[in-house]
Structure 1
Amino acid sequence: MEYNTKSKTTYFYAIGLSYKKADADIRGHFSLDNDGKQLLYTQAKANGIDSLIVTSTCNRTELYGFAEHPYQLIKLLCENTKGTVEEFQEVAYIYKNKEAIAHMFKVGSGLDSQILGDFEIISQLKSSAKDSKKAGLLNSYLERLINAVIQASKRIKTETDISSGAASVSFASVHYILNNIEDISNRNILLFGTGKIGRNTCENLVKHTKNEHITLINRTKTKAQEIAGKFNLLVKDYANLQEEINASDVMIVATGAQNPTVDKFLIQTKKPLLILDLSIPRNVNHNVTELDNVTLIHLDDLSQITDETLEKRKAHIPIAEAILEEVKAEFNTWLETRKFAPTIKALKLKLTDFKNAELDTQRKKLSDFNEEQAELISNNIIQKITNHFAHHLREDGISTDESLELIKKVFQLEESTKHV
């Protein structure tokens, strides 16, 4: 899992923080929007990092990449967000090599999601990998790994029922609204912002409530109109935000702002108002709770719901974990092969040198030397020898590193570039 060049040895790391130890406020400090990601990519390249995947969702912010020391990745994250190294150390995790691989598999499979079996993260990982490739920051190792994680995720979806039933943050939002707001089909609902969870919540509300009083406001009106067309929503100008808030019974906030966009000073209505803040960082100022008529629910509160659907999902964890282990083992086998491939290649070149020297000697000795036959026989022998070495290195129960060192020593091999 080391990546060696002439100048440095780097290791594969996963560093980040998630809902498990970091609350919404802390996650907000480390949140990265698209501009932040682009700045991070540029800085990574300037710092000599050759491969990196960055994910930033409502539940986690993570960097997967190659570095000499994990602090290089931590520094990148902290310098491009509001978060500090001290905050990071309080709540973070750092995984190296095989542990980092295992972590990405667990995250991509939905087994590490805030709501078990919520597979939204795999599409975010795919998107992040595309961004990395576009930025020239996706080497063959990381590309192969992300494809293996995608494969595992697909198999878990099709071979288990871990994602059966509707259980996600958007489902939890609708579940909460339906259970806490009477006569929902006749209530005024306002969606502020076009974040994906907010859009999914709205789509589910349309489906389950038959409500025809859903209004959408977004800073960019054209984007709002595009989404409204899909879900049959009304669109109002951003300038009408305060008026629409005061006409609403339920408000869903899903903006991508780095600071709160809604506070108590926008609310003059005295009737009950339920606000769901589905944003990271939080986009609703906590001061709205000073108003007696306002109930504020954040996505971290929603994720605490446990219902029959989620309990049933837990029964499928062992099968999902078995699939993960199988695909992970295939990746690790590829990794081991990749680890010794340069040595086998160097061995083949050394044996070819022996062959060429011997053929030269025989040409001079024999007047009827059969060039074609000699080439064929010697090449077959070289292939058989290298195959035997490769088979030995693939076997379980042997120390690959020790075997590689012995082969290099015996044959006096030199490799120009090493992938260990």
Structure 2
Amino acid sequence: MQLYVIGVNHTTAPIQIREHVAFDSELLGSALHELTQNGASEAAILSTCNRTELYCSTDDPQKALDWLSQYHHLEKDAIAPYIYTFPDDEAVKHAFRVASGLDSMVLGEPQILGQFKQSVKIAQDAGTLGTLLHKLFQRTFEVAKEVRTNTDIGANSISMAAAAVKLAQRIFGNIGEQKVLFIGAGEMIELCADHFAAQKPKSMTIANRTIERGSNLAQKISSQGIQSQAMLLNDLPAHFADFDIVVTSTASQLPIIGLGMVETAIKARRHRPIFMVDLAVPRDIEHEVAELDDVFLYTVDDLSQVVSDGIENRQIAAIEAETIVANRVENFMQWFKKRDAVPTIKALRDQVDAMRKAETEKALKQLQKGESPEKVLEALSIALSNKFLHAPSHALNQSHGDEHAKLEDTLKQLYQIKS
């Protein structure tokens, strides 16, 4: 079995493609079981707004790619131009770079490490991790920690949440008079809420599928002296026109905000602008909304220019980080290659042990017959020596030319013979 990473990310595929191969986090466990039934002996799936990647041990990566297209009901030709496939050491290097923030849209951003760890936990709970992937991810998180500790890769990093605030300020200037709506209550929304709360908007509302989780986040915001409340997603159409800023990030597989809802809100607002940030993949907002007047809609791909601020210093740190990654890849591959020799070593030990048992049994029978222990031990040692040396001696005698010379050098190395 070989190690492979198969996937798409923000550098190879636009959001229109990424949203079609994204996985629902609640269904990841069952998806992993399907993948291991389709040619992968071990598997983990990393699915975020910027990437979908299969980490698997398999002899045929094409089977994993076929499964990916079938799972999402896509034609293989439709996603093939955007797919990358990394084998063995390239796969290891990619995993190390992803977890360290070197492959992120925001160079050095820390959120990806938490997302990676969560994906690995899901795979572990699903029972789809074996020795290879377990070792890979253990080393991956160690490398990420080393990079964070020994470089400034995360310094001056502007997150998606901070970028959303920056863009909102470009539209409204001071956002102290704006009403902000957050759709969802996950980690990304919490980060965005913290950044917007620092600007003291007029009010902040959390719309979520369940009122309890939304209320918990609203209470946290209220503790900062900002008027806040929670509401159910089902109530959104009736109140959507009240909000000036909308930030959404849910795990919904279908759009939550449709064109009709926004058109109705624009009329009710008498064409006062609405700033919208869709951080979800698949998207929460129908893409046609971007064509409306008085609507400023940004997706995760649109934020790339804003988050590039301060990238110069992080690029210098990235060079140091890449050196750490390269060294750790080499170390991991040494373990990986040694792992391939394990079956041969076991077979050799089993064969030698069988010889030892056979000769020991003969010696015990001779002792039981009353033969001299000294003679029995001498015979045992000679028999074992002859049996152990028979195969290499026979191979050396049967070889010729370059093959003989190579075999002779190998035997000298194995038996530490100086000549």
In structure 2, relative to structure 1, the CA distance for the partners of 1:94 and 1:368 (3 Å cut) is: same
Q: Deviations over 1:278-313 (max 9, x none)?
A: 111121123323432111111111122255522210
* Whole-angstrom distance in 2 between the partners of 1:360 and 1:240: 83
Larger radius of gyration: 2
Supply the distance in 2 between the matched residues of 1:308 and 1:282 (Cα, whole angstroms): 25
Q: Which one-letter code corresponds to 1:261 in the other structure? A: I
- Cα contact 1:30–1:82 (8 A) shared by 2: no
CA gap 1:371/1:184 in 2 versus in 1, 3 angstroms: farther
Q: Given that residues 29 and 123 in structure 2 are in contact (C-alpha distance below 8 angstroms), is that contact kept between their aligned partners in structure 1? A: no
Partner Cα distance (1:302, 1:188) in 2: 22
Q: Is the 8 A contact 2:35 2:67 kept in 1?
A: yes
Go from structure 1 to structure 2 and tell me whether the alpha carbon gap of 1:370 and 1:24 turns closer, same or farther (over 3 Å shift): farther
Write the letter of the residue equivalent to 1:163: G
Unmatched runs of 5 consecutive residues or more in structure 2:
223-227, 390-405, 415-419
Aligned length: 374
**Alignment TM-score, normalising by the size of structure 2:** 0.81
Aligned residue type for 1:367? S
Q: What amino acid maps onto 2:256 in structure 1?
A: T
Q: Equivalent residue of 2:297, what SS? A: strand
Matched residue, 1:350: 351
Distance in 2 (CA, whole Å) between partners of 1:260 and 1:114 is 23
- 1:327 aligned counterpart, secondary structure: helix
1:228 matches 2:233: no
Alpha-carbon separation, structure 2, partners of 1:166 and 1:121 = 13
SS in 2 for 1:236: strand
CA contact (8 A) 1:110 1:118 kept: yes
TM-score normalised by the chain length of structure 1: 0.81
Once the two structures are TM-superposed, the CA of residue 117 in structure 1 deviates from its matched residue by 0.6
Give the Cα separation in 1 of the matches to 2:133 and 2:144: 16
- 3-state SS of paired residue (2:337): helix
1:309 counterpart = 2:310: yes
Hey, what's the Cα distance between the residues in 2 that align with 1:106 and 1:307? 18
Question: Cα gap change, 1:127/1:289 in structure 2, threshold over 3 Å: closer, same or farther?
Answer: closer
Using a 3 Å threshold, how does the CA distance of structure 1 residues 179 and 347 change in structure 2: closer, same or farther?
same
Query: Structure 2: how far apart are the matches of 1:195 and 1:168?
Result: 16
Contact 1:12 1:65 in 2 (8 A): yes
In the alignment, what sits opposite 1:324?
325
Q: Distance in 1 between matches of 2:259 and 2:118?
A: 36
1:241 maps to a residue whose letter is L
CA distance in 1, matches of 2:16, 2:187: 20
User: Alpha carbon RMSD of aligned pairs, Å?
Assistant: 3.0
Unmatched runs of 5 consecutive residues or more in structure 1: 4-10, 386-401, 411-420
- CA spacing shift, 1:352–1:44, aligned 2, 3 Å: same
Cα displacement string for residues 76-124 of structure 1 (whole angstroms, at most 9, x for unaligned residues):
2122225331121121111222222222222222111111111322222
Aligned to 1:176: 167
Counterparts of 2:185 and 2:320, CA distance in 1: 36
Instruction: Map residues 51-130 of structure 1 onto 2, 5 A cutoff.
Output: 51-130=42-121
Question: Does structure 2 retain, via aligned residues, the 8 Å contact 1:167–1:310?
Answer: no
Structure 1 segments, 4+ long, off by >6 Å, are: none
Give identity over the alignment, percent: 28
Counterpart in the other structure of 1:418 = none
- 1:256 pairs with one of 251, 262, 284: 251
Following TM superposition, by how much is the alpha carbon of 1:219 offset from its aligned partner in structure 2, in angstroms?
1.9
